[in-house]
A and B are shown apart, each in its own frame.
Chain A
Amino acid sequence: METNQVIEETARQAYGRLLSYLVVNWRDLQAVEDAIGDAFLAALEIWPKVGVPDMPEAWLLTVARRRLIDRARRDRISESALLTLFAMSENTQRLASSSVAFPDERLRMMFLCTDQAIDPVMRTPLMLQTVLGIDAARIASAFIIKPSTMSQRLTRIKAKIRTERLVFEMPDKEEIPDRLDSVLEAIYAAYGRGWDEAAIVDSPRRRLAEEAIYLGKLLLPFAPRESEVYGLLAFMLFCEARREARRDEEGNYIPLSEQECTRWDLSLIMEAERYLHTASQAGRMGRFQLMAAIQSVHAQRLRTGRIEWMAIAQLYEGLVRLHPTLGALVGQAAAVAEVYGTERGITLLEAIPSAEVVNYQSYWALAGHLYKRMNRKEEALSAYSRAIGLSIDTSVRQFLSRQVNEIEMQHL
């Protein structure tokens, strides 16, 4: 492997571990990021000449730590703070000279990223940057945010973490489920963004959806008894399994119920089923577990050839009771329409307050679908039109436009 490739690979594996370890010990996130950046630059310069060190992570850690000490001296940091840094540096030296890996503090980092003091919409971007080392520009594109705005917001949060001295302590045992919720929510948001991103661009870089799954898997060793961690992972993997089947060879969008099951990734489905099984053993229902269970019912079409809408409708009912998001309400309406008839589905849909769905694409797409089925042409056309106008994905727009054309053809 080329040295540059080794460095890139090490960066992917080690960035979050290095950063989390250093930040937990030295709170200045910005300074730590700069120090790690310097360490990687040094690696790029030195490794090609002298070869890759036996323990690349320890090497990077040593360089980053040295940079931190230099900077602390330059900034005339107080003696007591310097002591912390020196103590840590002894630690890192010991770690660097032994074969033991340094402690993985990425979970603490994830808890910090989802601290109450941090704006919920910024938690996912912060986590993507600190734990995975994804740069602000890429995060900005995935979230459709102006890149300089995204950078500023991230910088502001890092300053806040320093000045408000947000804690890096692990939450108490009884706090963990609540705090874990925010972490899961942030990972779920990353996955959702990745899902949209994957539909928009075929990019060679690792997809955001995969990064989200990677984050979810990081949680497993720390939270072996938290069923929602397994639930979220199962949900993401069920969705991943269908990625290829979402479009045909020409790139046309195919809705879930019309996808060819043979194009689903069987090994991912089996992995998802295993996680879902583990989640269900906890004997506690959770939002992500329910969402995964719904996907699992869809996946069963692979074996049975049919969609058990009754089961899906029941699961949605549970989800709506537990966590009534717009997505859950619309999903429930769709399932109810299949089981109890289109009219019942529309009734549920129309019960959602209209102010909440003004810009909610899925609502209008389903409304168009159901009105079309009931032959309420004007309403169907109007709903589809809004769905198209709210769509970001071009292939979805084209799919919905075909529905509109079908209605208009019937008119003639």
Chain B
Amino acid sequence: MSYTLMFYESQEDFEARTDPSRQQEYLAGWTHYVHALRQAGIVVFGSGLYAPETAATMKRRGGEMAVQDGPFPETKEQLGGIFVIDVPDIDTALEWAARGPVDTVEVRQNMPALKQSIDGN
């Protein structure tokens, strides 16, 4: 079964990505974690995300389209990256979440792909 691990990072974490005095330590944490994940042979997909202030959010309000700068919603911790992993159960997925180099990780099971597409392929 596949699960998505969503890594939430604080403003400080995001700043550490570019702060010369903290950057190396920050990146090393991820490098080791990704190394262990890959060696376990469970990674389906994974990617870090650029900082939330680089985001653009599209919102439809009563049929009217609004585009805003920044993430949705504005909270203290923002999504910093995701991993999709293929493991037997949520217990194992949570164990991997606990190994992540951040303090908040949300784990959700992925839904299976829809069986039929519109054009019948």
Contact = CB atoms under 8 A, between A and B. Distances in A.
Contact of A386 (B32, B91, B95, B101): B32
A144 B33 contact: no
B39 A358 contact: yes
A330 interface: no
A4 to B, nearest CB: 33
A144 B34 contact: no
Interface stretch (A62-70, A179-187, A241-249, A387-395): A387-395
Given A389-B32, A389-B36, A144 B25 contact: no
Interface in B76-121: 90-91, 94-95, 98-99, 101
User: Of residues B31, B37, B95, which shows the largest number of chain A Cβ atoms within 10 Å of its Cβ?
Assistant: B95
Contact of B90 (A146, A382, A389, A401): A146
A397 interface: yes
Interface of B is mostly: helix
Interface in B19-73: 25, 28-29, 31-37, 39-41
A404 B28 CA distance: 10
Interface residues of A, number: 18
A392 to B, nearest CB: 5
Given A144-B94, A146-B90, A389 B28 contact: no
Contact of A389 (B35, B41, B94, B95): B35
A358 B33 CA distance: 13
Contacts, number: 50
Interface residues of B, number: 20
B25 A389 contact: no
Nearest to A121: B91
B94 A386 contact: no
A252 interface: no
Given A144-B98, A358-B41, A391-B99, 19 more contacts: A144-B94, A146-B90, A146-B94, A149-B90, A358-B40, A382-B35, A386-B35, A386-B39, A388-B29, A388-B32, A388-B36, A389-B34, A389-B36, A389-B99, A390-B99, A392-B98, A397-B32, A401-B25, A401-B29
Interface of B: 25, 28-29, 31-37, 39-41, 90-91, 94-95, 98-99, 101
Closest CB pairs A-B (n = 4)? A389-B36, A388-B32, A389-B32, A389-B33
26 contacts: A144-B91, A144-B94, A144-B95, A144-B98, A145-B94, A146-B91, A149-B90, A358-B39, A358-B40, A358-B41, A359-B40, A385-B31, A385-B32, A385-B35, A386-B32, A388-B33, A388-B36, A389-B32, A389-B34, A389-B35, A389-B37, A389-B99, A391-B99, A397-B101, A401-B25, A404-B28
